[in-house]
């Protein structure tokens, strides 16, 4: 069993050098690429990707996953541009040496019953998974507020119904808390068969405020203990959101990221969980 620490480095700074310095200072060997130089990963050009690859190689930091925005659009938005965006992200993932791409399952119109959109969501997620399989990728679906797959039963239904090894789950405790779900009690067992990746942040149930791991109601300690006992081998990716928590991303600053990293490391030490 090995837990590998990673993180959304754009939560540290838009600047790549500062991102790498903080990761190295915390002995974190990987990053999850969502944006750099204030540019979303899907919008990076070939020159920027080549520069990024060179700097990562020089620093010894690897890419755990692409924190893509795929599926973070309305369910009624046209699908062909989203598939084209995934093709571009597949090229970037290949260049950076990762096969994991985070995705979402589409925003549902406010006030509408998610169940009305089930067939359309599954069809769209199936199309994304088929493209991912062609490109040798695995899509990690994130439970996100206001998308179809915000609750554990719908997350599991999407993955089971699509029925592709190219679509798995990532587990975000804070997002579940903000949807009124107890992450470990209500979601873990349902999603464990599909679990590929873990995003680490916590939240307070009373207010939805995001806090460092172990300081909220996200049952992070219990989930980490179960992952340890089940022999989980994979990434724990810090997404602290300690300064800004928005619909399309978050920010913590260097000090906030360090605080989040140390809170996670304290939990792992308490649970006697090795990490690298």
Q: Domain span at residue 209?
A: 3-270
Quote the pTM value.
0.95
Alpha carbon 106 to its chain's center: 15
User: Residue 276 domain-assigned?
Assistant: no
Query: CB–CB of 8/248 below 8 Å?
Result: no
Bridge-partner residues for 79, per DSSP?
none
* Calpha distance 255→253 (Å, rounded): 6
User: Could you tell me if 172 and 203 are in contact, meaning their C-beta atoms sit under 8 angstroms apart?
Assistant: no
Q: For residues 270 and 211, give the distance between their C-alpha atoms in angstroms, rounded to a whole number.
A: 19
Q: Would you say residue 50 lies in a domain?
A: yes
- Name the token pair of 17: 């050098």
pLDDT in the model for residue 2: 77
Q: What is the pLDDT at residue 242?
A: 76
**CATH code of the domain containing 120:** 3.20.20.150
Residue 53 lies in a domain: yes
Whether 30 is in a domain gets the answer yes
pLDDT tens, position by position, 68-79: 999 999 999 999
CB 177 within 8 A of CB 218: yes
Per-residue pLDDT of the chain (276 residues; tens, 9 = 90+): 579 999 999 999 999 999 999 999 999 999 999 999 999 999 999 999 999 999 999 999 999 999 999 999 999 999 999 999 999 999 999 999 999 999 999 999 999 999 999 999 999 999 999 999 999 999 999 999 999 999 999 999 999 999 999 999 999 999 999 999 999 999 999 999 999 999 999 999 999 999 999 999 999 999 999 999 999 999 999 998 876 555 656 677 899 999 999 999 999 999 999 999
* pLDDT for residue 244: 58
Number of domains in the chain: 1
β partners of residue 4: 235
256, part of any domain: yes
Assigned domain for 217 exists: yes
Residue 275 lies in a domain: no
pLDDT at 40: 97
- CA pair distance 194, 196, nearest whole angstrom: 6
Query: CA torsion sign, 13 to 15 to 16 to 21?
Result: negative
Residue 252, pLDDT score: 79
Q: Rounded to an integer, what distance in angstroms lies between the CA atom of residue 194 and that of residue 14?
A: 32
Specify if 196 maps to a domain.
yes
pLDDT value of position 247 = 60
């Amino acid at each position: 069993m090995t837990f590998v620490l990673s993180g959304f480095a754009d939560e540290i700074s838009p600047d790549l050098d500062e991102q790498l310095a903080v990761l190295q200072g915390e002995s974190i060997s990987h990053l999850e690429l969502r944006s750099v130089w204030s540019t979303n990963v899907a919008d990076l050009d070939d020159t920027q990707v080549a520069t990024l690859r060179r700097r990562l190689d020089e620093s010894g930091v690897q890419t755990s996953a692409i924190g893509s925005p795929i599926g973070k659009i309305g369910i009624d938005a046209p699908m062909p541009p989203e598939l084209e965006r995934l093709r571009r992200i597949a090229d970037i993932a290949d260049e950076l040496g990762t096969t994991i791409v985070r995705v979402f399952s589409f925003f549902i119109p406010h006030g509408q019953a998610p169940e009305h959109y089930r067939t359309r969501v599954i069809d769209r997620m199936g199309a994304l998974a088929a493209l991912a399989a062609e490109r040798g990728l695995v899509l990690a679906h994130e439970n996100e507020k206001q998308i179809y797959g915000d609750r554990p039963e719908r997350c599991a239904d999407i993955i089971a119904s699509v029925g592709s090894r190219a679509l798995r789950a990532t587990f975000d405790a804070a997002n579940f808390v903000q949807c009124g779900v107890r992450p470990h009690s209500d979601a873990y067992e349902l999603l464990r068969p599909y679990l590929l990746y873990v995003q680490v942040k916590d939240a307070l149930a009373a207010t939805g405020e995001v806090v460092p791991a172990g300081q909220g109601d996200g049952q992070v300690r219990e989930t980490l203990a179960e992952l340890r006992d089940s022999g989980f081998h994979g990434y724990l990716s810090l997404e602290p959101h300690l300064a800004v928590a928005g619909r399309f991303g978050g920010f913590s600053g260097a000090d906030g990221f360090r605080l989040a990293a140390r809170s996670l490391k304290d939990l792992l030490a308490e649970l006697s969980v090795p990490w690298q």
